[in-house]
Amino acid sequence: MVAKKPKIVIIGAGMAGLTAANKLYTATSSKDMFELCVVEGGTRIGGRINTSEFGGDRIEMGATWIHGIGGSPIHKIAQEIHSLHSDQPWECMDGNSDENNTTTIAEGGYQLHPSIVEPVTKLFKNLMDYCQGKKLTEDGELDSSYYYKLAAIAASKGGGGGGSGSLSVGSFLREGLDAYFGSVKEQDEVKGYGNWSRNLLEEGVFAMHENTQRTYTSAGDLLSLDYGAESEYRMFPGEEITIAKGYLSIIESLASVLPPGIVQLGKKVTKIKWHGDDEKKIVENGCFSRPVMLHFCDGSMISADHVIVTVSLGVLKAAISDDVDSGIFFCPPLPPSKVEAISRLGFGVVNKLFMQLSPSTQHDEEQHFPFLQMVFHSPQSEMRNKKIPWWMRRTATLFPIYNNSSVLLSWFAGEEALALESLNDEEILNGASTTFSSFMSYHKWQKGTTLHKLCNGNVNSDDKSHQNEVKFSKILKSKWGTDPLFLGSYSYVAVGSSGDDLDTMAEPLPKDNNFQKSATFPLQILFAGEATHRTHYSTTHGAYFSGLREANRLLQHYHCVGIYNN
C-alpha cells in the first residue's frame, strides 16, 4: 500500500492562518513531511488586518493596536523586523489621545468643566475594572458601602465568573451608575449649559464612555455582553501602541518564509466535505484517500488530510444558518456542541470612518484639531438637535489620527456601523459636517489650549460664522459587516455564552480523544482564529496563539518537533 505525504490545507490567509502555515513550514524536519497549502477567498493576505493610506498618512482599516507590549508576540515580531519606527506619518503615532488636548463638549456646543467629566469618567473606569476582576485601589474607591452595593448587584443577578450568568455588563454599569447617584451628596445644579441639567450631563458623559466600550468589545449593545466572562479576558501589561510600518508588515513577515504557490488567492471555499465519524478507510488506486474535500466557488476542488479553518465567527454563523447560499457548507453538518457554541457567542461590527478636513477648515501649523469627546442627548430626547442623523448619535469621539494631521477619525459600532456601510459618501459628509459643526465653532483650535470659541447654543442659521463650519473633502470607511469574507469585526462573550464556548470552538473534528485506537481519520478539521481563544479572543495576538496551537497539534500528531504556545 502506497503512503501519501499528509496534505494540510489552511483556509484563510489572516493572522491565524499564516501563523499556522509559518509554524508548519519552518518546524524542524517538517518541510518535506507535509504538502502545505493556504487558500484565501479574497484578493489579498491579512484578513482583518488591512493597512492602507489616506491623505498621505498610513492608516489601519482593521486591527490597529498592539494591546500591551509586555509578552506580546506581535510586539516581538514588530521589533525583530524593525516595524515600530517609520519616517512616514501613521495613525495614532503619538498615542490614542493627548490628555492635555482632550475637549468634552455637550450637544449644543457646551464645553464641559472637568468637575463634571472627571468624576463620571473615574466612576466608569472603576466599574469596568470591577467587571474585569481588577483590584481597586483606595484612591479609586468612592466609599466602601458603594462597592458593597456593586458586589450585591453582581451576586444577585448571577454574575459569577466564567459566564453563562444572567447579568450583562450593560445592566451592571447602569445599576452601578444608579448606585453612584444614590451615594453622592446632593450637588448644586450647574449653570450656563442651556437645557442640560447636571444629572443629564453626568448621564451623557457616562453614555459616551459606554459607546467607547462598545467599540472596544464589538458588542453593539452592552446589554448583550456577559458580565461573568469579563474577568476571564486577559491583556498584556505595558502600553498599547500602533505599528509604524503598518500591521500588514507582521503578516508579510509571517508569509515571507513560504515558497511561492503555497498561498493561493481568490479561492473561496463553498463546501467542506469530511468523513465525520465514519470509521471505514477509503482506498483509491492503491492509496488511502484523503478524508476531506474542499469545494471552491470556481468549481475546483482540493482534497486534504487535515484542514485548518480560520474563517471569522461571522462566517461560521452564516455557515450554520438556514441560508444555503450564505457561505461555507459543512457536509456532514457540524456537531451540535459546535453549532451551539457558534450560535451563543457574540460577533459584532465595528467600523472606522476617516475624514480629511477640507482646506477651508484647516489652519496653520501652530493650530490643530483637539481630541473631541461628544456628549449627546439621548435619541429619544425632545431636546436633541434633530438635524444630527441618528447614526451619529452614539459616536463618542472625533480626533486627528496624530497631532496636526488633517485626517480625523471616528469609530462606529453595532447598528450605526452597519448603517455607515450603506450610506454613500455625500450622505456621510453631510451628516458628519452637520454633527461636528453643531458641537463647535471652528474659527480656531489653538495648539496647547482648548477651543478658541464655542457655539454655546447661540449660533443661528444666519450667523456668518457658519462659513467656518467643519467641512470634509473626502472620506474612507471600513465595511467589515457586509464583507462576505468576514461578516463582522471580532468576537465577544454574549449573555448566555461563556468561555467554555470559546474552548468548544477550538475543538478539532472528529472529536475523539483516543486517535491511536480509532479507525477514524483523525484531526480532519481544526479550528483557529481569535474566536477560538478563551482569554485573548478579539485580538490579533489571540489569533496568533490559535494558529500556533493548531500547527503544534498537527506537529505533535506526526511526532514532529513543535512547542505548544498558549
pLDDT digits (tens, 9 = 90+) for 191-219: 889 999 999 999 999 999 999 999 999 99
**What stretch of H or E contains 9?**
strand 7-11
Class of residue 235 by CB neighbours under 10 A (exposed 0-12, middle 13-18, buried 19+): middle
Q: In what order do the strands lie in the sheet with 329-331?
A: 301-304, 292-296, 269-273, 329-331
C-alpha pair distances (Å), 207 with each of 126, 234, 256, 275: 15, 25, 45, 50
CB-CB contact of 90 with 242 (8 Å): yes
Residue pLDDT, tens place only, 473-532: 999 999 999 999 999 999 999 999 999 999 999 999 997 554 444 446 899 999 999 999
HSE (side-chain half, CA atoms, 13 Å) at 114: 5
149/60: higher pLDDT: 60
d(CA 516, CA 418): 48
pLDDT at 566: 42
pLDDT over threshold 90, residue 54: yes
Confidence of residue 462 (pLDDT cuts 50, 70, 90): very low
Q: Is residue 563 pLDDT above 60, yes or no? A: no
pLDDT at 142: 46
- Give all domains of the chain, ordered by start, each with its CATH number: 7-46+242-348+485-561 (3.50.50.60), 114-231 (no CATH)
Query: Each residue of 305-330: pLDDT tens digit?
Result: 999 999 999 999 999 987 656 679 99
pLDDT at 94: 86
What number of residues does the chain have?
566
- Judge whether 64 and 92 are in contact, CB under 8 Å: yes
For range 402-406, the mean pLDDT? 90
Q: Average of pLDDT values for 48-67? A: 97
The strand pairing partners of 171, in sequence order, are none
Cell numbers for 291:
478524508
Residues 127, 129: Cα–Cα separation, whole Å: 5
Is residue 264 classed exposed, middle or buried when 0-12, 13-18 and 19+ CB atoms within 10 A define those classes?
middle
Residue 512 confidence (pLDDT): 59
Backbone angles phi, psi at 9, to 5 degrees: -115, 130
Joined grid coordinates for residue 113: 468643566
What is the CB neighbour count within 10 angstroms for residue 186? 4
Residue tagged 457655539 (cell numbers): 455
- Min mean pLDDT across 174-188, 351-365, 444-458, 516-530 is at 444-458
Looking at the chain, the whole-number percentage of residues with pLDDT higher than 90 is 69
Give the pLDDT score at 432.
Answer: 95
Question: In which residue are the cell numbers 456601510 written?
Answer: 421
What is residue 326's predicted lDDT score, i.e. its pLDDT? 63
Q: Compute the distance between CA of residue 141 and CA of residue 122 in angstroms, rounded to an integer.
A: 9
**Range 436-464 average pLDDT:** 50
- pLDDT score for 461: 39
Q: How far apart are CA 121 and CA 340, in angstroms?
A: 37
SS3 state of residue 451:
strand
Cell of 324: 444555503
Q: What is the pLDDT of residues 81-140, one digit of tens each?
A: 999 999 999 999 987 655 557 899 999 999 999 999 999 999 999 899 888 887 655 454
Close Cβ partners of 467 (under 8 Å, ≥ 6 residues apart): none
Strand partners, 39: 11, 264
Q: pLDDT at residue 73 above 80?
A: yes
SS3 call for 213? helix
pLDDT tens digits, 212-242: 999 999 999 999 999 989 999 999 999 999 9
Burial (CB < 10 A; 0-12, 13-18, 19+), residue 271, is middle
Res 251: pLDDT: 98
Report helix, strand or coil for 226: strand
Q: Is the confidence at residue 428, as pLDDT, over 70?
A: yes
pLDDT tier at 72, thresholds 50, 70, 90? very high
Can you give the pLDDT at residue 374?
A: 96
What's the pLDDT score for residue 181?
Answer: 87
Q: Rounded distance, CA 180 to CA 140, Å?
A: 13
pTM above 0.95, yes or no: no
Listed residue (339, 257, 246) closest to 38, CA to CA: 257
Lowest mean pLDDT across 144-158, 342-356, 384-398 = 144-158
Helices (H) and strands (E) in the chain, counts: 13, 22
Which residues contact residue 380 at a Cβ distance below 8 angstroms, ignoring those fewer than 6 apart?
none
Q: Is the pLDDT of residue 141 over 90?
A: no
Secondary structure element (H or E) that encloses residue 499, with its range = helix 499-505
Q: In the numeric block, which cell numbers belong to residue 401?
A: 489620527
457 φ/ψ sector (left φ>0, alpha ψ -120 to 50, else beta): left
